[in-house]
Amino acid sequence: MTDIKRNTSALFGTLLLLIVCGNLHAAVTEVTATVDANPMIMDESVNLVVTANDDISSNAFDPNPLLKDFVVGNTSVSRQTRSINFQTTRLTQWTTRLIPRKPGRYTIPAFTIEGQQSQPIQLSVLPASASRAGRNRNLYVTTDVDTNEVYLQQQIRYTAKLYLATDLQRGSLAAPKLADAEVRQIGQDKEYNEIIDGKRFRIIERVFAIIPQKSGQFVIEGSLFEGEVADNSSQSFGFFSRTKSVTRLGPNIDITVRPIPQGYNTHWLPSDYIELNEEWQPQPSEYRVGEPITRTLTLTAVGLVEEQLPSVNSGYPDSLKTYPEQPTSTTVERDDSLIAQRTERIAIIPSEAGDITIPEVRVPWFNVKTQTTEYATLPSRTITIQPSASQSNNLPSLPPVSVEPDIDTPTEVVTITQTSWWSHSSTALLILWLLTLLLWYVSRNKEGSPQRNSSSAKVEANSWDSLSAALKTNEPGKIQPALAMWLSEVCNKKHCSLAESQRLLADEPLNLAIKNMLQSRYSQENTSWTANELSKIIQRIKSDKNKKRVSQGTELKSLYPTNA
């Protein structure tokens, strides 16, 4: 009995060893390839199934040779293992969804896996209109463009429509493809119903903007739909219905992209319509020296994106100090079209009173309808700048002039006869008197008025204290008027504007510091400006002026030396 058990165990061990050894030496002996539809309709999909009789790596199958003639979907991999009468069979199966790019006859090539090769497949693809089933389809995609011939960077409006006569469980509609082009969806999907040949279809419409970046002949590859629909051919179980995967491809469209016309040397803006607008704040009623004005320029273009818009070159005379902000741009969607907009804001501070003319602004663009160059323009504008409020308040008032009424009175004509010697002596005395008066005036100015100098020094000291306090606040709105008052004292000009003081001093570091301060004040963006640099420059100017005063005082003393 013990021998029987021993022999039985040895037999099972031998069989197990043979099975293991057989599996170790197993290899792929057969590779097959099949499709689930042949012939097929143009915009529908076919499943290619490649099977190898062994458990091998998922990467052993390469679908890249199919890309020439088909749109290749995702590849799924499945494995099976069966054991019958101690004989184990393993299978590896790849399933790939293929969509032909156009009607015709195609050859699905042979695939080599682990040294074994499948047989090639001859596949017939019929146009959708050539099949009775095509005319009665429950699901298909159509594509259309607003024009087949455009200029470089001109917008193409591409419309894809998904027709559904069955229940859609889930799905996605991809964007069309065009080499060297920018593609983006415009707006939201539209849904509506239509009855076609007596059948009700639910239609989902999606619009795309395609902007080609290269000229030549191109093909727009149609939008691809992938999803799951209810399978009415199968029975449902309870509340759950069976679904099937579907794929549809929209027709391809040929287009021609023209290059930029020869001799066109300005910024390229191909569009149906472009306009240029401006806005002034405050409204053009009364502007004053030193008070800020904000000019907003807005460039709007249909069928373009914001990256295509150029800067608006606006010029200004020297009497206007300009502080431009960082321009902003955006792209919006209106009426199934892209609309690009660029906004530039410029803070303007007048430095002189009078009538000032701002030049015309022109932006060239190419009208794709008329195929001519046009200009978006703003006409020249003349604005009147009034003196600053401080200057207006300090203008001397003229005494009233009384006008005597004309009275008809007899006029008596008196003739005086003077001798020649009296005339000459009077002239000589007048000249001597004028010379004496001139010498007295010069001497008085050299000596100076202690009372006047004391008053001027007090005013300057007060303005310096106000400026020092304003600098500590780090607020441009408080610093600017205090700085203008102190600089007018430095320049010895009462109520001189800030711009006029800058012109008289001609100090480049000061001008740059003031420019940064004003740009921070009038800009709508948050800036990290501080008064540190401006404070250092002002301290230098004050120190230089004090040194100059000491030097002038020493020179004056040397003119009047004291006797030892």
Element (H, E) at 535: helix 532-559
Beta strand 46-52 pairing with 31-35: antiparallel
The alpha carbon dihedral of 282, 286, 291, 292 has a sign of positive
pLDDT given at position 296: 95
Q: Residue 485 gets which letter from DSSP?
A: H
Q: Would you tell me how many other CB atoms lie within 10 Å of the CB of residue 139?
A: 20
Q: What are phi and psi of 172, to 5 degrees?
A: -145, 145
CA angle centred on 520, ends 315 and 534, rounded to 5°: 105
Single-letter amino acid code for the residue at 364: P
Across 346-361, b (16+ Cβ under 10 Å) vs e yields bbbbbbbbeebebeeb
Residues in Cβ contact with 144 at an 8 Å cutoff, skipping those fewer than 6 apart? 158, 159, 161, 253
Q: What are phi and psi of 197, to 5 degrees?
A: 50, 40
Report the alpha-carbon distance of residue 197 to residue 373 in Å, rounded.
48
Across 56-80, b (16+ Cβ under 10 Å) vs e yields beeebbebeebeebbbbbeeeeeee
Q: Which of 145, 268, 159, 148 is nearest to 217 (CA)?
A: 148
pLDDT given at position 246: 86
pLDDT given at position 44: 80
Residue written as token pair 């780090």: 474
**Burial class of residue 289 in the structure, from the number of CB atoms within 10 Å of its CB (0-12 exposed, 13-18 middle, 19+ buried):** buried
C-alpha to C-alpha distances, 170 to 116, 436, 446, nearest whole angstrom: 39, 109, 98
Report the alpha-carbon distance of residue 343 to residue 368 in Å, rounded.
24
* Tokens of residue 30, six digits: 């057969």
* Tokens of residue 262, six digits: 């020869």
Report the alpha-carbon distance of residue 137 to residue 40 in Å, rounded.
13
Mean pLDDT, 10 residues at a time, the chain of 564 residues: 55 52 59 88 85 86 88 86 77 88 88 88 80 62 95 96 90 93 94 90 95 96 89 59 83 95 93 95 81 94 94 91 91 91 93 91 95 95 84 49 44 43 61 71 54 63 86 86 84 76 85 83 73 89 77 51 46
Report the alpha-carbon distance of residue 268 to residue 265 in Å, rounded.
8
Report the alpha-carbon distance of residue 493 to residue 509 in Å, rounded.
21
* Tokens of residue 337, six digits: 């079209």
Q: Which of 336, 328, 373, 324 is nearest to 160 (CA)?
A: 336
**Complete DSSP assignment for 69-120:** TEEEEEEEEEEEEEEETTEEEEEEEEEEEEEESSSEEEEEPP-EETTEEPPP
Residue written as token pair 């939201």: 188
Report the alpha-carbon distance of residue 564 to residue 562 in Å, rounded.
6
pLDDT given at position 418: 45
Q: Would you tell me how many other CB atoms lie within 10 Å of the CB of residue 512?
A: 13
What residues does 240 pair with on adjacent strands? 237
Beta strand 320-324 pairing with 216-220: unpaired
CA angle centred on 382, ends 376 and 386, rounded to 5°: 145
3-state SS, 272-302, equals CCEEEEEEEECCCCCEECCCCEEEEEEEEEE
Domains annotated on the chain, with CATH: 25-128 (2.60.40), 138-258 (2.60.40), 270-389 (2.60.40), 453-547 (no CATH)
* Tokens of residue 383, six digits: 């604005």
